[in-house]
Structure 1
Amino acid sequence: MTLKINRLVGGYSRIPVLKDISFAVNSGQLVGLIGLNGAGKSTTINHIIGLLEPQKGSITIDNVELKDDSKVYKGKLAYMPEMPVLYQELTLKEHLELTIMAYNLEPTHTWKRATELLKVFRLDNKLDWFPANFSKGMRQKVMIVCAFMTEAQVYVIDEPFLGLDPLATRDLLNLVDAEKKRGAAILMSTHVLSTAQEYCDYFVLLHQGKIRAQGSLAELRGIFNDNKASLTDIYLGMTQDGNANE
């Protein structure tokens, strides 16, 4: 299973934000999408999940484009947004039921999976709660459960650590690791570069809508000519260097 972005040009107007970017996220791989505010991370994600249409290039999941078969494409993809999106009139249980219906999931197996996730994130006694009762961190946990209960083939998770306490952050990282081992392809956008450095297998460094560099940490260190450089050192060095690889 591969999420593939091929020569993508796109944005919100005729003037593109993304300028010919290409990268892939393969089965069993966690790829970190790294960039400053305005680098193009959210624009990239919005193209992947179908909120924006490419001006040029293509995005495929297992060689399927959204425009060719939206049901198949979306059925393979789960998205966890930066800001939790919940329906105020629905309880937690009803959010889970809505997810099951949206993905046409088998109820018995999926409820077992959801129950396990609810226990991990300490939401199992809050099924009758409405979003108004949830803290920011709890809302984020609801998004985690709704995304990962689908057992999707591709996950796109955007700034997942915002609002999470250290215990929930650890639990999320353990969950991501388990999904990698299952064979899922995971793209994670984050500003927490120390965590990305520790957990990601591959990095895509975006700056001003272009890919400055991509590769494993070892490969990036080779480009940066410093075998001890941190991901933060590498990213800041490349974005401040006009001669950096694009």
Structure 2
Amino acid sequence: MELLKVNINKAGYYRNNDVINNVTLSVKAGELVGLIGPNGAGKSTTLKAIMGLVPVFNGCIEFARNAKKYSYIPEQPVIYEGLTLWEHLELAAAVYAMDQREFLLKAEDLLKLFHLTEFKHHLPTTFSKGMQQKTMLILGFLIGPLVYVVDESFVGLDPMGIKDFLLLLEIARSHGAGVLLSTHMLDTAEKICNSFLLMNEGTVVARGNLEEIRELCGLSQGSLFDCFLKLLERHS
């Protein structure tokens, strides 16, 4: 079942200066779609367009009826000054009208998983980049959505943080969630993603699972990294 369907004709930040064009994709239940491409390819703009965060947009974004709750985990943490970590969690729970008992159980479990329990009454503005990123992950997983839109959330995480993040993604997918993940970590993406979209210069230039990408590149045993370079050479 498709949880998210995206058809972006054009999107950007200024009129007559589109960053992305003709971007189509879908995310199914239990699927992890990897969005890859060089810097400036339009990956983050695509994710922001899906979330309605770009001023110039022409296209259609459709979430399934049962996917009304979705999480967007941005590359740069969004932290409210003056709110403690726990107050951030309480705010998210209030916005989504979470049951208080469910909130307390999930919040404490996530804080424990990411080793932030002792910091829950501290201000995230004083945290390291990695701790701020973990804060965003906790907020993203707290509400238990069916769709996760994730932008480079490996940045700043230590190896254990990455391991815990991937574990949560796997659990969410096993419960029917779908994930759209933008990342530069191609070795990790190759291991965890069901399919890939390669963007370059603002549009999708290749898509498919690893075998299909290999066939497209003519690299029967190539790694995702090898295929990535081959496709970029072809479209440069």
TM-score by length of 2: 0.94
Please name the residue that 2:92 is paired with: 99
- The one-character-per-residue Cα deviations of 1:140-172 (angstroms, maximum 9, x if unpaired) are 111110110110111111101111110111110
Q: Does structure 1 residue 9 correspond to structure 2 residue 10?
A: yes
Listed as ranges, the gaps of 5+ residues in structure 1 are 64-71
- Give the number of aligned pairs: 234
Map 1:217-228; keep pairs closer than 5 Å. Answer: 217-228=210-221
Does 2:161 align with 1:168? yes
Task: Indicate how the Cα distance of structure 1 residues 7 and 94 shifts in structure 2: closer, same or farther if over 3 A, else same.
Answer: closer
Which of 166, 169, 180 matches 2:173? Answer: 180
Shift of 1:54: 6.0
Deviations 1:184-243 (Å, cap 9, x if unpaired)? 111111111111111111101000011111111111111111121111111111111149
1:69 paired residue number: none
Distance in 1 (CA, whole Å) between partners of 2:125 and 2:59 is 41
What SS does structure 1 have at the residue aligned with 2:180?
strand
Does structure 2 retain, via aligned residues, the 8 Å contact 1:11–1:43? yes
30, 35, 39: which one pairs with 1:28? 30
Q: Alignment RMSD, CA only?
A: 1.7
Q: Tell me, yes or no, if structure 1 residue 18 matches structure 2 residue 20.
A: yes
Q: Please list the CA deviations of residues 122-151 of structure 1 after superposition, one character each: whole Å capped at 9, or x if unmatched.
A: 111222111243211111111110110110
**C-alpha separation in 1, matches of 2:17 and 2:125:** 39
Question: Distance between the aligned counterparts of 1:60 and 1:17, measured in 2?
Answer: 21
Task: Give identity over the alignment, percent.
Answer: 40
Which of the residues 211, 222, 227 maps onto 1:229?
A: 222
Equivalences for 1:1-246 in 2 at 5 Å? 1-13=2-14, 14-52=16-54, 55-62=57-64, 75-242=68-235
User: Residue 8 of structure 2 contacts residue 57 of structure 2 at CA under 8 Å; is this kept in 1?
Assistant: no
Gaps of 5+ in 2: none
Match of 1:66 in 2: none
Deviations 1:23-73 (A, max 9, x none): 10111011111011110101101111111256432111116xxxxxxxx97
